[in-house]
Structure 1
Amino acid sequence: MVAFDEPLPYIGVTPFQLVSALIILIVGYVVAKILVGIFKRGLRKTKLPPLVIEFLGRFLAVLLYVTVIIVALGAVGVSVSSLILGLSAVIGLILGFGLQDTLTNLAAGVWIAALRPIDVDEVVEVGGKTGKVKAVGIMSTELLTPDNKLITIPNKLVWGSVITNYTRMPTRRVDVDVGVAYGTDLDRAIKLAIDLMKNHPKVLDDPEPGVVITALADSSINLQLRAWAKTEDYWAVKGDLTKGIYELYTREGIEIPFPQLDVHLKEK
């Protein structure tokens, strides 16, 4: 039976060292979580936005976890100084082989957190991907799509792309397209559409709702209803107006045509 202070076969580490390293890992992990929590609670008392707080919290967590791992390795007899030197050499080698994208993503994450073109829980479009911002980490940004898919985008692509923020502004314009048949009384059709929008409880009075003619298409005169609503009411208003204009025009006898093709056969 091996004594508690005698090295184990093959690995040359005593049971005492293994237990000490395990205790350091467990206690260090718990302490790191507590410190990160205290750090983030302290930042929340400032005027920093939630996105910046989350970014700084994740950055501190990574530093603390790396420190705990190094201390645990030191407890089993690994030379910490040589380990740090080795890590530095590895990092230098990695950067020398063209993985400087890591630093680029890190720098981009700092700029995103500082300038805040996006923020947590905002709905944005980045690089052709649309979703709600869940987090901006050290290396990447996470978006949650409406159908519950989690998209991870490297920060350098977020910072280097055109960003469309759908929910940053307090109000949005709701556009609903509808076509009416040629020969329709346009003044009447427009007035009915405007009345529909004005009577909707979530459509704002200022700016006033309006209707414009957008095209003289092959089989219809295309109209666009334009109503302003609070950003959180956008989809509700769009759905109501789309359904409402169809029902209203049907009830009032205004034809909404659909594309059709007439084929004439010529007999010889």
Structure 2
Amino acid sequence: MNLDNILEKLYELTTNYGFKIIGAIVIWIIGSWIIKIINKGVKRLMSKHGYEESLQKFLLNLIGWILRILLIVVILGKLGIETTSFAAILAAAGLAIGMALQGSLSNFAGGVMIMIFKPFKIGDLIEAQGELGSVKEIEIFTTKLLTPENKLVIIPNGALSNGNIVNYSDEGILKVFLTIGVSYDADIKQTKEVLMNVLTSHPKVLNDPAPLVSVSGLGDSSVDFAVRPACKVEDYWDVHFDVNEQVKEALDTAGIEIPYPHAVEIQKQG
């Protein structure tokens, strides 16, 4: 092969592929610039709506990779490479990965839903999936709760987002539900006054909503009173334990009996 043939081949290659390569480089540069602009816009939008930092990073990475894959497919098409089979391979790989990680994807989707719609936040006291605790951490795949016994509970976000969630902290106020039983010999009006005095004198019991003391039922051996003080969420257990203790002391001081089971012995005379 002489020099003329070599130069002719180089000219053909340059003519056929040179402009395509240059075009592909230009598309890559412009496409990368557009991807950066899109990521910045999405980040500003998510920050404006208060998305969690971990969710922002994950979604930005996910969007970035999807856009880069699409950009590579466009460049391959520009170079004259058949992209139909490439796209089919990507689709098949995506389907296989999706089936293999079905549970994980469900948890991921649940985590995204929790972070977007925010049924609770870190520090909230919630009840879900049979567990009660304060939210310690919200991750993409799981949510961690710290129970009153100081146990760490890890709940998959898929199950959490699809089940019932009771958020005790959302309103900022909780009512403590107590039932106090007194003897049938006790004066109802006096008993209500004694119980109400305990509630109104407690520094952590709120005046609004006002505490409630009312007869809730007539038991086998006691008149049952519903005692309902309201307090801030963080004061719940203090009020719960204090009121129980102070009610016992106040009833003893007032001479009001708290009934307890009695055994009656019956003897048959022979």
Specify the code of the residue in structure 2 equivalent to 1:187: K
What residue is the counterpart of 2:249 in the other structure?
247
What is the distance in 2 between the residues matched to 1:178 and 1:159? 37
My pick for the range that moved more, 149-158 or 201-210, is: 201-210
Q: Counterparts of 2:224 and 2:209 in 1: how far apart (Å)?
A: 22
Of all paired residues, the percent bearing the same amino acid is: 33
1:95 Cα deviation after fit: 3.2
Q: How far apart, in 1, do the equivalents of 2:152 and 2:61 lie? A: 22
2:148 aligned with 1:138 = no
Alignment partners' CA distance in 2, 1:231 and 1:223: 23
Q: CA deviation at 1:207?
A: 2.1
How far did residue 47 of structure 1 move? 5.0
Paired residues for 1:57-206 under 5 Å: 57=57, 92-96=95-99, 99-206=101-208
Q: Which has the larger radius of gyration?
A: 2
Partner of 2:215: 213
Q: How do 1:224-263 and structure 2 match up within 5 A?
A: 224-263=226-265
| Residues 250, 95 of structure 1: alpha-carbon distance in 2 compared, 3 angstrom cutoff | same
Paired residues in the alignment total: 205
Deviation of the 1:161 alpha carbon = 1.1
**Whose helix fraction is larger, Structure 1's or Structure 2's?**
2
In structure 2, the partner of 1:27 is none
Cα distance, 1:63–1:187 mapped onto 2, change above 3 Å:
same
1:181-207 Cα offsets, whole Å, 9 max, x none, are 111101100011112211222222222
Contact 1:112 1:159 in 2 (8 A): yes
Q: Which runs of 5+ in 1 are unaligned?
A: 1-38, 65-84
Distance in 2, matches of 1:130 and 1:61, equals 34
Deviations 1:42-88 (A, max 9, x none): 88x94554x72233346668999xxxxxxxxxxxxxxxxxxxx9998
Q: What amino acid is aligned across from residue 204 of structure 2 in structure 1?
A: K
| In 1: Cα distance, 2:229 partner to 2:139 partner | 37
Distance 2:48 2:258 in 1: 53
SS in 2 for 1:135: strand
What are the Cα deviations for residues 200-222 of structure 1, in whole angstroms up to 9, with x where unaligned? 22222222222111221111111
Give, in angstroms, the shift of residue 142 of structure 1: 1.4
Assess if the C-alpha contact under 8 Å between 1:202 and 1:237 holds in 2: yes
Secondary structure of the corresponding residue to residue 176 of structure 2: strand
Separation in structure 1 between the aligned mates of residue 140 and residue 201 of structure 2, nearest angstrom = 48
Contact 1:55 1:136 survives alignment (8 Å):
no
Aligned CA-pair RMSD = 2.9
Report deviation, 1:153.
Answer: 1.2
Q: CA deviation at 1:90?
A: 5.8
Partner letter of residue 183 of structure 1?
D
Deviates more, 1:233-242 or 1:124-133: 233-242
Secondary structure in structure 2 of the residue aligned to 1:265 = coil
What's the CA shift string for 1:235-266, capped at 9, x where partnerless? 22222211111000011110011223323232
Distance 2:62 2:148 in 1: 30
Give secondary structure in 2 for the equivalent of 1:158. Answer: helix
Q: Tell me the distance in 2 between the aligned counterparts of 1:260 and 1:157.
A: 48
- SS of 2:181's equivalent? strand
Between the aligned partners of 2:57 and 2:262, the Cα distance in structure 1 is 60
